[in-house]
Structure 1
Amino acid sequence: MAHTTTFVGTGTQTNLPAIIQQLVGRVRAHAETRRQQAQLRCELSQYSNRELADMGLSRADIDGIVAGSRIG
């Protein structure tokens, strides 16, 4: 008795170079966002407590502002 196996593909092929390219793009975008957040944190930290208070902020608000910022 002969045994045969038939493979039925899904018709989709993975485009590995494109997937890698997307991943690298996402990593770069994330790194750029982190760089901009660090710059924002540094700039806000340079204000005096009085200047921050004039803006309605305190030093404790800086990390929250940076974390909630939509940069990019």
Structure 2
Amino acid sequence: MSAEAEMVNGYLTGYASSSIDLPDCHKRQSPAFKHGWLNGRDDRERNPRERGSVLRARAEIILGNSGVTHAPA
């Protein structure tokens, strides 16, 4: 499963959950899943844990799409 799909799966799982904290059964999931789960929880609770720009940047890092280009060595 791609990181994007894991993040979406995590979001849907977090949105449907009744838990405030990431349940133990999800602690071994990928960073993408966990990020998605926390975003789903935040939307369900209508209480973002961080500014949107920070969460988007974190998602880009997790997905490997930071947009940073490196000069050739």
- TM-score normalised over the length of structure 1: 0.31
TM-score scaled by structure 2?
Answer: 0.31
Larger radius of gyration: 1
